[in-house]
Structure 1
Amino acid sequence: MTHQTRWTRGGLRTLAVLAMAMLVIAGTAAAVPVAPNEVYGTVSDQNGDAVDGVTVEAVHDGEVLVSTTTDSDGYYELKVPDPNDEASGETVTIRTTGTQSDDQASITWESAAVDNRDLDVEIQTDTGDGGADDGDTDDGDTDDGDTGGGGAPSGGGGADDGTETTTTTTAPPSEPVEEGLSGTEAEVAIEGDSLVAVGFQSQTELSGSVSVQALQDPPQPVPEARQFVSAAEITFSDGDGEGVDMVRLSVSQSRLDELGVTPSGLVVAHLGDDEWEELDTTVVSTDGPVVVEAPSVGFSTYAVLAQEDVTTTTATGDTPTETTEPPADTTTETPTETTTETDTPGFGISLSLVALIGAALLALRRHA
């Protein structure tokens, strides 16, 4: 065996060893998962006190990415995943839900970033009607008339049982608005922050009058996976509105923005026998206030609810099927493209190293 042959075989062996080492290194250099964007902060009430048990959500394009609740110190922490599995820069809304006046803030999503967002909410507290508030009232004919009810410990100026009563925790309804009816269409304007008008359509002439009272809170809990938007108590002076075919409710766009929902996610519901009946709903207009329409099924309370992940405004039974399919297609396509782009460099290096090792081994056999 010549010196040249030994040198060649030794060099090829060294080359093969180096190639194998590089292959091992490339194999261990797996793609690192995208780190979430961490968001933390404190939720405080109108008095500056920390609020326990408030739900905080991270929302992108109406979809809740992750949620949590505040602890006893009002502290929350969210690890927000990449909304679209794409490049950084998407805007994500951090918001509270379930308080009398919710708050929200936004972040620009960045992998492994840490953002602080403190939120302020308004909490309605219970207030007693006893004690010093009405202690200056002289209820002389009651059994503590000798004190004139002035600051009686039981409150309420001479109440027999001394029981302290509290006000309701729901927001008070607005004043009823009454309008006369004529023609086949009518609309009652309401000066509200959420519900701004209620309209009626009929095949026959409408007569008499109608009273509409906007409600700030639902009189009955709304169905699961539904969010309360607004409601109205509707009363007809002449009968129960049997001639009315369609009911239209106009909701302010600011209310939808506050809740993070889109017009396509709205559904009209009617309260009957203490249960909500969801109706076939159509979005009539999104120019200014969002107007939704549904068939009349008698009159008492109508509400506008928001559905999660809804893409159509047809019957509720069809909605989940139509809603589920688009996300499934998106999810399938996006990871495939992302994974291919992330793993392509490592795969190419591995393939090159395998080819290099194969060539080295083939050369060794030829020089054997």
Structure 2
Amino acid sequence: MKLKKLVISAMSAVLFSGVAMAQNGGLGPFNNSNYSAISAKAAQAQGDPVNVNVNLFLGWTGAWDTVVMKQANILEKWLPKGSKVEWKRNLQGPPVITDLLANKQNIAYLGDNPAIVSTTKTSIAPLKIVGFNMISMGRMCGVLLVRSDAPKFNSPEEVFKWLQDKKVAVPKGSCADRTGQEMIRKAGIKVDWNYNQAEVIVTSLEAKKIDAAVVYEPSASNAVENGFGRYALSGAYYKLLDADAIIMRQDFIQNNRPAAVAWLKANIEALYFMKEKPIDTVNLIKKEIPELTRENIWQAFYGQMPSDTGALPIVNNAVMTITPSARELSANVFSFLKALNVVQGELASDAIDSSVVTQAFKELGLDPEKALFELRGGLPKDNPFKKNDLKKM
């Protein structure tokens, strides 16, 4: 127990600055709160119990707060008494959108690309973005890997020169697809795009069937840990943002508003839990993803990428509320999808419903004009785990 407390204390000192540094990837300004303050305000919402059907997006660090909400039993403290939550695992976004439209899910967590697509299906069912739980500058999604036997590079320019006309894999339609396409476009080169799921892409790197990949975490750090690929470039090099969004059906909000607000309050508590309890968080995620080592899980969420990739010290921003950066990102994503003829027209003015998260922030004594906090990443030497074991201090 003493060892665990020492490690947590050391990790907190290394990881979390609590200072807004926009130039280093922070999307401040930020609220000044903490886990204890939010947890102390937990109270079950008034109203009828609800049945919530939601996805557990294990293959994407942007939605790992859902694992904490589930495994730490946070939701039962906030939702109306008697409420039930059914979790459904998914590997990618499109099936989640299908379930939302068919009313098989009423809340969902989606990467920025599919989240924006979901809001365009109003003729079937109005779906609203009610918050952006996490936004990063190229850390969650815009991760460019090269195969393990690629040459050593001394600059991003050398990376792009080597990539010319090579096979680069990406999960089609994902935030990795958008950030990857943007990096290649800005670099002014051409590559042979190959589309597949992230898990298949990792095995393709191992088999040397592709030369490079743009994937999201934790697939990127998993490939690196297993020696299948190397970090080559971060989307931060081109200041590219990626995000996870929380989607709710409009009828769920209208019929169960106290529960909808309570859900976001529970999510806010989960995010502060992740900030202040990294070891506990890794252990909770390990229960849901036993195939990943604790070392891998920590690196995927809390670890910095090498500085020569253009990555920044701030690895994530717990935002939740609808900030100007979140709106700008939404507009950029819509423009990208429109260029591919995935969506038409303009992003609807009511695609984002900020009223629910604004209410949650105000009832918790938080400023809805400010994000929650920024997360400063640790270096490999700061990782408290070696494979699955806690290091000795």
> Which of the five TM-score ranges fits, normalised by the shorter chain?
under 0.3
Q: TM-score, normalised by structure 2?
A: 0.20
Q: TM-score, normalised by structure 1?
A: 0.21
- The structure whose RCO (Cα within 8 Å, separation 6+) is larger is 2
The structure that is strand-richer by fraction is 1
